[in-house]
């Protein structure tokens, strides 16, 4: 691959403790940074990275791992990357030590089902470990968990090997990735069957601790920057007197509140109010289905990630599939959901979000002072140079005055590096040529070509490769 040649050729002519870093070690480090979200693979064009991007990715990983921050692949960094860990990304490379919230269940009484158990433990021991994992969370938050033996359950735990018909994320054999889980309200928790699962010993991998970590994801927690927290991405080993870290407790209570001395019985579907916190909306919209096709906004954003927005949620799209769903306010504090448009400038790292008669500006994930600001409300387009003064009073202008063949009142639009503009409405999208005219053969299906969903009763497309390239930074349509 081109990125490997770039990496091996000139990016890391580094030495570690007076020894040269070997090609295999460099390649493994690059794979790690890509897999866990510290680097984003280019979505089109040559597969290469700027040296400063890789150095910054290494620095971010070292900071998150509480290692000396050098931006070089030293022994400690390589060793940390070889430790067993959770299979989920370290989301969006956020430089914060605080717990990260990914979503929540709209109820506090959840069912679970254990579909199978590991072969390395007696069934009774394995079951006891999994039940204890649930209890860590119910001890500190007003949550209850009820096991069911058959049929559907909110949370489903299972063990599988390298590949599974029911899981798109393959495992890698003993070591490295131990388990992974979906965030609310999906409910799948998967463990690597090839691990030596144990209980009460320093040998192998402790099932109780790993299960508690993955249940944290299933309940809505992301990875913690505290290396001793349960929700840290790397497995810290067996701890005989294990208990939740204060960051774990603060995170789960931010989602579901504190546990009262006596919990009164509540209705199964009751949705009680959360404590006031800027990271979680008080009335989240239902979690959207990316395969439904319709979107509120799309943008090519920080670190080359392509973001899709719907309701109170946002997720990333890549040529290999979709990332997990996050609440918008968990990434951009103070930003509402149900956006009209979003546009990012790689030149200034500004993001402008539009909703109604307001515009918000963030530098990557931090809101700029003085925002949100008021705009003339209306359906149309704005155009500006972010480094010059712009008279927004002349905007918005009618969309069809600039673009030909586009739908009325589009739901989203974005500019791309290939000089083309893409419009979205409902379940379809349009591609415009350099004259800003809709091309022949459009509209096409969003779910199939962007979300990698196969529509029912259809065959594969005609090779349309309109997926996920980088955007231009100077226009937004809402």
Residues recognised as catalytic: 214
> Rounded to an integer, what distance in angstroms lies between the CA atom of residue 338 and that of residue 359?
13
* Angular region, 382: left φ>0, alpha ψ -120 to 50, beta rest: beta
User: Going along 214-254, which residue ranges are E strands?
Assistant: none
The DSSP result for 128-193, as a single string, is HHHHHHHHHHHTTSS-EEEE-SSS--SEEEEEE-S-BTTBSS---SSSSEEEEEPPTT--EEEEET
Q: How far is CA 132 from CA 111, 118, 155, 207, 404, in A?
A: 15, 16, 15, 10, 61
> Rounded to an integer, what distance in angstroms lies between the CA atom of residue 5 and that of residue 10?
8
Q: How far is CA 24 from CA 5, 124, 186, 236, in A?
A: 12, 42, 37, 25
Determine the Cα angle at 318 with ends 317 and 324, to 5°: 50
3-state secondary structure of 264: coil
> Rounded to an integer, what distance in angstroms lies between the CA atom of residue 455 and that of residue 447?
7
CB atoms within 10 A of CB 79: 11
What is residue 457's DSSP assignment?
T
Determine contact, residues 310/295, Cβ cutoff 8 Å: yes
Q: What are phi and psi of 350, to 5 degrees?
A: -90, 140
> Rounded to an integer, what distance in angstroms lies between the CA atom of residue 331 and that of residue 344?
15
Any long-range contacts for 387-393 (C-beta under 8 Å, 24+ apart)? 387/347, 387/348
What's the distance, CA 53 to chain centroid?
A: 20
Determine contact, residues 186/151, Cβ cutoff 8 Å: no
3-state secondary structure of 109: strand
Find the length of the chain. Answer: 478
């Amino acid at each position: 691959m081109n990125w490997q040649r770039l990496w091996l050729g000139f990016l890391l002519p580094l030495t570690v403790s007076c020894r040269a870093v070997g090609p295999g070690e460099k390649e493994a480090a690059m794979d790690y940074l890509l897999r866990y979200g510290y680097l984003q693979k280019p979505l089109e064009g040559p597969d290469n990275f700027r040296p400063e991007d890789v150095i910054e990715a290494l620095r971010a990983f070292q900071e998150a791992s509480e290692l000396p921050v050098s931006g070089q692949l030293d022994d400690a960094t390589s060793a940390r990357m070889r430790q067993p860990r959770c299979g989920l990304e370290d989301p969006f490379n956020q430089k914060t030590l605080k717990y990260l919230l990914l979503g929540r269940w709209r109820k506090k009484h959840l069912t679970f089902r254990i579909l199978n158990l590991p072969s390395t433990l007696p069934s009774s021991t394995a079951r006891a470990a999994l039940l204890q994992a649930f209890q860590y969370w119910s001890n500190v938050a007003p949550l209850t968990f009820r096991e069911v033996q058959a049929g559907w359950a909110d949370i489903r735990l299972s063990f599988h090997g390298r590949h599974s018909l029911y899981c798109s994320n393959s495992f890698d054999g003993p070591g490295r990735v131990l388990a992974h889980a979906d965030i609310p309200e999906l409910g799948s928790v998967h463990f690597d069957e090839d691990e030596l699962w144990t209980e009460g010993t320093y040998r192998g991998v402790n099932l109780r601790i790993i299960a508690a970590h993955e249940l944290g994801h299933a309940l809505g927690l992301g990875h913690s920057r505290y290396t001793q927290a349960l929700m840290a991405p790397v497995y810290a080993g067996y701890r005989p007197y294990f208990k939740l870290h204060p960051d774990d407790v603060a995170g789960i209570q931010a989602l579901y509140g504190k546990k009262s001395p006596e919990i009164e019985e509540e209705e199964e579907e009751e949705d009680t109010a959360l404590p006031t916190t800027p990271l979680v909306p008080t009335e989240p919209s239902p979690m959207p289905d990316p395969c439904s096709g319709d979107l509120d906004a799309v943008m090519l954003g920080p670190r080359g990630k392509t973001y899709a927005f719907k309701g109170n949620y946002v997720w990333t799209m890549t040529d290999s599939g979709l990332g997990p769903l996050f609440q918008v306010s968990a990434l951009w504090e103070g930003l509402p959901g149900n956006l009209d448009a979003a546009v990012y400038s790689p030149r200034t790292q500004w993001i402008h979000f539009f909703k109604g008669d307001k515009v918000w500006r963030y530098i990557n994930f931090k809101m700029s002072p003085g925002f949100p600001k008021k705009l003339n409300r209306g359906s149309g387009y704005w155009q500006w140079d972010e480094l010059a003064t712009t008279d927004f009073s002349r905007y918005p202008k009618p969309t069809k005055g600039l673009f030909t063949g586009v739908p009325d009142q589009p739901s989203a639009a974005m500019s791309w590096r290939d000089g083309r503009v893409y419009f979205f409405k409902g379940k379809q999208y349009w591609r415009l040529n350099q004259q800003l005219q809709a091309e022949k053969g459009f509209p096409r299906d969003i779910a199939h070509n962007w979300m990698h969903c196969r529509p029912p009763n259809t065959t594969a497309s005609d090779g349309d490769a309109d997926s996920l390239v980088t955007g231009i930074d100077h226009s937004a349509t809402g």
